[in-house]
Chains A and B, each alone.
Chain A
Amino acid sequence: MSGTFVGMPAFPKAAHEAVGNTTLRANLKHATHTIRDKRAKAVAELDDWALLREAGKQIKDHTLRHLDTYLVQLEEAVTAAGGTVHWAADADEANRIVTRLVKETGESEVVKVKSMATQEIGLNEALEAEGIHAYETDLAELIVQLGHDRPSHILVPAIHRNRGEIRDIFTKEMGAWGRPAPEGLTDTPAELAEAARLHLREKFLRAKVGISGANFMVAETGTLVVVESEGNGRMCLTLPETLISVVGIEKIVPTWRDLEVFLQTLPRSSTAERMNPYTSMWTGTSDSDGPQAFHLVLIDNGRTDTLADEVGRQALRCIRCSACLNVCPVYERAGGHAYGSVYPGPIGAILSPQLRGTASEIDASLPYASSLCGACYEVCPVAIDIPEVLVHLRERVVQGGPATRQGNKVVLKPAKGHAAERAAMRTAGWAFVHPGALRAGQRLASRTRRFHPRTLPGPGRAWSATRDLPQVPAESFRDWWQRTHGTKESGK
């Protein structure tokens, strides 16, 4: 995964800076609270939500367990329907394939539907390096692209911007990309949306190549599905002569019928609507309706490594609804940029370190970007136990151990900077199997409690700098039990 934002500091540092930005915090609080309240209402309309959630989980787990079979079936179905399937082991290969396909059309600009997969592989930058301009057509992505900015949310990438900031970006930047913003543009959302409509329409109407991702691919039929709201997706999927869809291999569902689960859970979990305004479904190419050339680029880019992890593979169930971001107290305060990846929030904290590995400082810090409160697990429409994976990845960061990187089994070394934690855990482990020593230590701690410092000395200082030390009780539980129940402890 090449999507590491360049020079990204570890999460604690980035979050510390973000938390100090009051505009950002206000924008985020407003957005996340609005959407989480709406979502709860939309979900409450379906009294079988728990069953839909369980079915979604089971469909995805079954698919992952037979991923090779379904990938081959999908390839056959897409090919039979007139499409061409390409396979990309990593981001570079995917970018090379897409660049070649665009060049073969003779075009030097493409229109894009918002897609996490193409952001993950850095496709826009790769195309730009080859002289091909990629225009983002989702309103939020347009705001991000014009603002020379980075996305900060899966669903609403410009969530960190308020209307005034958006107006300024449009006024300043639109002219350099095409039709300039209208004179005297105000900051009302309707006017801003209208400016985007006019700016992008000229691009839609002349575009010969469209690039998209997909929310789902149906192995049985070869059908691809894109859900969206604005109609920019329909424009890019329908009007160009050539359509290139770049999709992660985990986006498969086995059968047409399986869509009945996800088309109920995805819109309600993401935009908190009964149904998103537009859903497009296409199977290969159709006579004279839509693009006459269709390419599907299937990308691995760390997904098979994630699949190899028995605990972590559940992250591949993710349908990118972003409900976990909107309920996360850490995301709400730190914002999406602090996660240093196109996948922010709780799901990003488990997905990025698995797709990219935990070698970098930012990726090693992400499993700690959580209070483990569990709200993300509660809302997840495919029941990904994010806290479980976070704890699993923390263990990997601290202790090292077996993992899979680019298909090869490796043994990871413990990450730097966790020496104190490891020493503490080793000591605790020793104490728990030596009850006599534990008892003596507890008594000693209780009797000296008046003299305990408020922060730890030495290597523990970093830990206690952001946490209050627990108070040691006047008496240990064991001593209390013996005193109040009188009998001598039996069994050691």
Chain B
Amino acid sequence: MSSRDIILGRVRRALGDAPRGDAQASYETAVDRGYRREHGSRTTEETVDLLAENLADYRAIVHRCQDEEELPYLIMRLLAARGPRYVLVPPGLPPEWMSAADPTRVHDRAVSTTHDLDAVGSVVTGCAVAVAETGTIVLDGSPDQGRRRITLIPDHHICVVRVPDQVVSSVPQALERLDPRRPLTWISGPSATSDIELDRVEGVHGPRTLEVVLVSGE
């Protein structure tokens, strides 16, 4: 008998004490979902403000941008302040975002090794959705976000969030928008540890600086 059969057999014997019925059929009634879909009621503007506040609370640096025309200059300034020689750019990033930037753009190619990526200082991406209540941005590997590794190895991540389109209030609303078949990365502030006497230290293995640009769309 395979271990699969052994384990499934043990589960069935263990549960022999009560009638069980069909799992899927009873699922609908098994859970009382009286909890909230979002906490509090806010205008769209307030939701974006809350996102900015919670991002900053977890030590992300938040920038506001009135329109897409201003965006390339803001990205240029943010990169200039850090001064990386190379900046990683996912394949589907709108080219105009980088039109004013100085550093050499590099792409994440199949042949690029992790050591190649380690030589890159910054990365610029879009995002899939941002969660106001928790101060979280979610990447889903879409062409403007690229593979998971490009937002992990460089020390500086600039993430552009289109507001209010890409902003939701809560975790339940975010999950509704996401496709579980895609590799997903939820990011709330920069890498951090509290393992030493519970003192929070930013930047252990992921990017030590996370800059989020909230760009207003029309």
Q: Residues of A at under 8 Å CB distance from B?
A: 27, 30-31, 34-35, 45-48, 51-52, 54-55, 58-59, 61-62, 65-72, 81, 87-89, 93, 137-140, 143, 156, 158-159, 162-163, 166, 189-190, 192-193, 196-197, 200-201, 204-206, 218, 221, 223, 229-232, 234-235, 238-239, 249, 254-261, 263-264, 271, 273-283, 286, 288-290, 298, 300, 304-305, 307-308, 310, 313, 404, 407
Contact = CB atoms under 8 A, between A and B. Distances in A.
Interface of B: 2-4, 6-15, 17-18, 20, 23-24, 26-27, 30-36, 39, 54, 58, 110, 113-115, 118, 131, 133-136, 141, 147-149, 152, 171-172, 175, 180-199, 201, 203-207
A308 B14 CA distance: 4
A163 B188 contact: no
Nearest to B117: A205
Could you tell me the dominant secondary structure of chain A's interface residues? Answer: helix
A68 B8 contact: yes
A193 B39 contact: no
Given A59-B30, A258-B31, 15 more contacts: A47-B39, A81-B181, A189-B196, A260-B172, A274-B133, A275-B131, A280-B183, A280-B185, A281-B186, A282-B184, A283-B180, A283-B183, A290-B148, A300-B10, A308-B14
A137 B204 CA distance: 10
Given A87-B4, A249-B7, A260-B175, A58 B191 contact: no
B11 A88 contact: no
Contacts of A69: 23-24
B197 A275 contact: no
A196 B149 CA distance: 20
A158 B193 CA distance: 12
Nearest to B34: A51
Given A35-B198, A278-B187, A310-B17, A264 B4 contact: no
Given A65-B20, A189-B199, A205-B118, A238 B152 contact: yes
A370 to B, nearest CB: 24
Contact of B195 (A58, A93, A156, A263): A156
A407 B10 contact: yes
A286 B190 CA distance: 25
B136 A163 contact: no
A278 B206 contact: yes
26 contacts: A34-B198, A58-B31, A65-B15, A66-B26, A69-B23, A89-B3, A138-B195, A143-B195, A158-B195, A159-B198, A189-B199, A201-B205, A205-B118, A231-B191, A231-B206, A234-B205, A234-B206, A258-B31, A275-B135, A277-B188, A279-B185, A281-B186, A286-B183, A290-B149, A300-B10, A308-B13
A197 B175 contact: no
Contact of B198 (A67, A156, A239, A305): A156
Contacts of A201: 118, 205
A55 B13 contact: no
A257 B13 CA distance: 29
Most buried by A among B14, B110, B141, B185: B14
A289 B148 contact: yes
Contact of B30 (A58, A139, A271): A58
| Listed residue (B17, B206, B207) with the most chain A CB atoms within 10 angstroms of its CB | B206
Contact of B7 (A62, A89, A271): A89
B181 A70 contact: no
Contact of A300 (B7, B15, B114, B181): B7
B58 A277 contact: yes
Nearest to B155: A197
Contacts of A93: 3
B2 A87 contact: yes
B183 A289 contact: yes
B8 A256 contact: no
A431 B9 CA distance: 45
Given A93-B3, A156-B194, A166-B196, A234 B152 contact: yes
Given A196-B204, A257-B175, A279-B185, A30 B198 contact: yes
B218 to A, nearest CB: 30
B30 A277 contact: no
Contacts of A305: 10, 14
B23 to A, nearest CB: 4
A234 B181 contact: no
Contacts of B134: 274-275
Contacts of A288: 110, 147
Contacts of A35: 198
A350 B15 CA distance: 20
A273 B31 contact: no
A162 B7 contact: no
Given A68-B11, A275-B135, A281-B183, A30 B197 contact: yes
A232 B204 CA distance: 8
A230 B115 contact: no
A78 to B, nearest CB: 12
B181 to A, nearest CB: 5
B136 A139 contact: no
A487 to B, nearest CB: 47
A3 B90 CA distance: 44
Nearest to B207: A231
A5 B133 CA distance: 42
Given A81-B181, A230-B193, A238 B198 contact: no
